[in-house]
Structure 1
């Protein structure tokens, strides 16, 4: 490829898109430990205690509880960061799906939210969202 394209060999890959890659004769090891620490720091949880089950068993989320409201953009950012982290941390997949999925997710009326968008080229021509 060097004959056809101008390029530079930077050596073995160490970090890529938040993933740490360690290469050896035995294979590859991928970790997101540094990314996980950055997420904890971003959401001011670097001093949080670790737990074996990071969700209360049988937890039902409801919009009618008396919890303090949080910034929806901050929450969506947290969910997105955690979804990316599940690439190497399958142990948190259930908890992340619990807070991010909406498959009959409204426990108040047992309905889900769905929708679609149709594109022609790069422009949306039709869209729909319903509960």
Structure 2
């Protein structure tokens, strides 16, 4: 159980009542939970998944130590027929599932994880090469963290964009947005649109509607 809040006396009261009813141990301030690391500083607190990434890279058993600056090359549009089918897709599926959880606090890989997840039923050599590129990117950015400042405004700032007809198989566009509360990134999403947009303007209007619903 994780108890949060800024009233230390009431938190102590709740923990005392819980100890009266249950066998429990107070582990102190939150440091590590389900692969997510939390560190507290005078500026605020950071969350990261450095150990989770290290374990993921160990399981992937990459053959070299190189890193890349971006998780994906620009203007790449993958199709189901690209590449040759993998003889054993188990590793691909296992790594993609791990990346999905990693994207929980990794907005920088959310777009590519969305793309790679679409091909888990029949992955090919091309998809696997893009998957390896993500792992090389993670190796170079393993110390990156999300900061939640101790003092920040409560003003919402929202950003959105859309790639028009980015999927060559069905001509659907991709929506992406992120929401900041002051200086804290609190929500983000990358999602294929459910209908075909007939122009880039229409695609952008759809993602703005999606973002408005999120903010509301």
When the two structures are superposed, what TM-score results if normalisation uses the length of structure 1?
0.66
**May I ask how many residue pairs the two structures share in their alignment?**
110
Task: Write the distance in 1 (CA, Å) between the matches of 2:25 and 2:43.
Answer: 26
The answer for the alignment partner of 1:110 in structure 2 is: 170
Deviation at 1:11, TM superposition (A): 2.2
| 2:134 is aligned with 1:74 | no
Deviation at 1:70, TM superposition (A): 4.9
Q: How does 1:64-103 map to 2 (within 5 A)?
A: 64-67=81-84, 69-101=86-118
Structure 1, unaligned runs of 5 or more: 113-131
| 2:74 is aligned with 1:57 | yes
2:21 counterpart SS class: coil
Moved more, 2-11 or 30-39: 2-11
Deviation at 1:26, TM superposition (A): 4.6
Q: Deviations 1:29-85 (Å, cap 9, x if unpaired)?
A: 211011111111111127442222221222222333344625222211111111111
Task: Write the distance in 2 (CA, Å) between the matches of 1:87 and 1:46.
Answer: 27
Q: Deviations 1:7-42 (Å, cap 9, x if unpaired)?
A: 121222221111111134554321101111111111
- Larger RCO, structure (CA 8 Å, separation 6 or more): 2
Structure 2, unaligned runs of 5 or more: 1-17, 120-164, 173-216
| 2:34 is aligned with 1:17 | yes
Moved more, 12-21 or 70-79: 70-79
Coordinate RMSD, CA, aligned: 2.9
1:21 counterpart SS class: strand
Moved more, 34-43 or 93-102: 93-102
When the two structures are superposed, what TM-score results if normalisation uses the length of structure 2?
0.43
